[in-house]
């Protein structure tokens, strides 16, 4: 690592103190600055960000590389003044994939084992056994079959669920049935009793969880959204739940975060709400990955997690 490298950190949710501790332990020369205490913007080489203020990155004239604090980069690409020539890297951390897998497995098991029904029965002191299928009879469809999606799929498969995956472009994955494109989406939906979204948010995936999608699922299917709030047409969800088209939804992400207190999702009996915690970045495991990306960049080595701006991830 070269000396006098300056990094600007910006995040409304991640701990600057924890990141400073991990990064400066590994790179003692790092000049770590926390927004809004930017100092001289011309001195900033690297920006490590989550939901940067629009215009912030453009205000750093010598910025060399933008590093996302999360796996998704929609929070960066949405800035209309994003500097054109500066490469962006996503965070690919197996710890984050583990965390996402735990969250998805938790919700899939809750739906599969009828946890919401048993909770309702407990509230009414009802002792009643409900019909229960085996995991092998409960097909799960994953929208998004990249690094994280494949990790989630392996965990669900180990629990006995038949798992298939959907991607926008054809992708063969050993041990799994995969579908691609618009026709493939219909096929995946038709067989998915539990639909899990972990897609990146791009113009092509925005609003993919809509009434049309719900109508293509088996009657009474369940939805898990751990992608982005923008994947879900929020207005379509409650009517689908109230009509029985869907039987439950677990949502970790929302159009407006924090989810406003008056939002009907908070109180719907068939919706589980969590505050965007499915895959929280862990500075202990992510700091070496961030520094490695910088080292690769400095040594002009390929950046395997570089973002294709056109594709959106």
- What residues are annotated to the active site? 228, 276
Q: How far is the CB of 88 from ligand GLV (least distance, A)?
A: 13
Quick one: 32 or 313, whose CB is closer to ligand GLV? 313
| Residue 70 C-beta: closest distance to ligand GLV, Å | 3
Query: Binding residues for ligand GLV, how many (CB under 6 A)?
Result: 5
SS3 213: helix
Residue 126: count other Cβ atoms within 10 Å of its Cβ. 10
Scan residues 88-117 and list those touching ligand GLV (CB under 6 A): 96
Helix (H, G, I), strand (E, B) or coil at 309: coil
Which residues in 39-68 contact ligand GLV (CB under 6 A)?
none
- 196 lies in the binding site for ligand GLV (CB under 6 A): no
Among residues 70 and 149, whose Cβ is nearest to ligand GLV? 70
Residue ranges of the alpha helices (H) in the chain? 16-26, 74-77, 94-112, 115-123, 147-158, 181-191, 211-216, 234-242, 283-298
Using the rule CB under 6 A, which residue among 139, 149, 162, 279 binds ligand GLV?
279
The closest alpha carbon to 195, from 158, 237, 235, 254, belongs to 237
Site string for ligand GLV, 146-165 (x = CB under 6 A): --------------------
Question: Looking at 39-47, 70-78, 121-129, 166-174, which segment touches ligand GLV (CB under 6 A)?
Answer: 70-78
Running DSSP on this structure, what letter comes out for residue 170?
Answer: -
We find the least distance from the C-beta atom of residue 136 to ligand GLV, in angstroms, to be 31
Pairing assessment for the beta strands 177-180 and 163-167 based on DSSP bridges: parallel
Q: How far is the CB of 150 from ligand GLV (least distance, A)?
A: 16
Nearer residue to ligand GLV within complex by CB, 70 or 141: 70
CA distance readout (Å), 143 to 39, 111, 162:
42, 18, 14
Task: Name beta bridge partners: 8.
Answer: 33, 47
Name the residue number minimizing CB distance to ligand GLV: 70
The one among 14, 22, 44, 72 contacting ligand GLV by CB under 6 A: 72
**Residue whose tokens read 């011309």:** 42
Integer CA distances (angstroms), 151 to 46, 107, 186, 253, in order: 30, 16, 23, 20
Provide DSSP, 95-151: HHHHHHHHHHHHHHHHHHTTHHHHHHHHHTT---PPP---GGG--EEEE--SHHHHH
Q: Which of 5, 71, 77, 195 touches ligand GLV by CB under 6 A?
A: 71
Least distance (Å) between residue 289 CB and ligand GLV: 12
Nearer to ligand GLV, 277 or 301 (CB): 277
Who contacts 216 (Cβ-Cβ below 8 Å, separation ≥6)? 185, 186, 189, 190
CB of 78 to ligand GLV, least distance (A): 13
Which position among 9, 47, 60, 70 is part of the footprint of ligand GLV (CB under 6 A)? Answer: 70
| Closer CB to ligand GLV, 179 or 254, in the complex | 254
Summarize as ranges the residues that interact with ligand GLV (CB under 6 A). 70-72, 96, 279
């Amino acid at each position: 690592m070269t000396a006098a490298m300056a990094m600007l950190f910006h995040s409304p949710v991640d701990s600057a103190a924890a990141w400073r501790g991990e990064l400066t332990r590994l790179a003692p020369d790092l000049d770590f600055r926390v927004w809004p205490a930017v100092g001289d913007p011309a001195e900033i080489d690297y920006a490590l960000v989550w939901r940067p203020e629009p215009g912030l990155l453009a205000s750093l004239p010598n910025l060399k590389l933008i590093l996302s604090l999360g796996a998704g980069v929609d929070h960066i690409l949405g800035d209309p003044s994003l500097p054109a020539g500066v490469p962006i890297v996503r965070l690919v951390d197996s710890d984050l994939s583990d965390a996402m897998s735990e969250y998805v497995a938790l919700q899939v098991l809750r739906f599969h084992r009828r946890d919401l029904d048993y909770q309702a029965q407990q509230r009414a002191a009802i002792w009643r056994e409900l019909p229960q299928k085996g995991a092998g009879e409960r097909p799960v469809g994953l929208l998004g079959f990249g690094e994280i999606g494949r990790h989630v799929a392996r965990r669900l498969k180990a629990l006995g669920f038949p798992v298939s995956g959907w991607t926008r472009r054809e992708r063969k994955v050993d041990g799994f049935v995969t579908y691609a494109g618009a026709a493939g989406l219909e096929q995946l939906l038709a067989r998915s009793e539990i639909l899990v979204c972990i897609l990146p948010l791009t113009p092509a995936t925005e609003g993919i969880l809509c009434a049309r999608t719900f109508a293509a699922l088996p009657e009474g299917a369940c939805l898990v959204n751990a992608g982005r709030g923008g994947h879900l047409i929020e207005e379509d969800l409650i009517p689908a739940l109230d009509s029985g088209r869907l039987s439950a939804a677990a949502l970790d992400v929302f159009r407006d975060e924090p989810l406003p207190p008056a939002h009907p999702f908070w109180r719907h009996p068939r919706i589980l709400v969590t505050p965007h915690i499915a895959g929280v970045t862990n500075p202990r495991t992510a700091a070496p990955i961030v520094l490695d990306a910088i080292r690769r960049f400095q040594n002009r080595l390929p950046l395997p997690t570089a973002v294709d701006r056109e594709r959106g991830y």
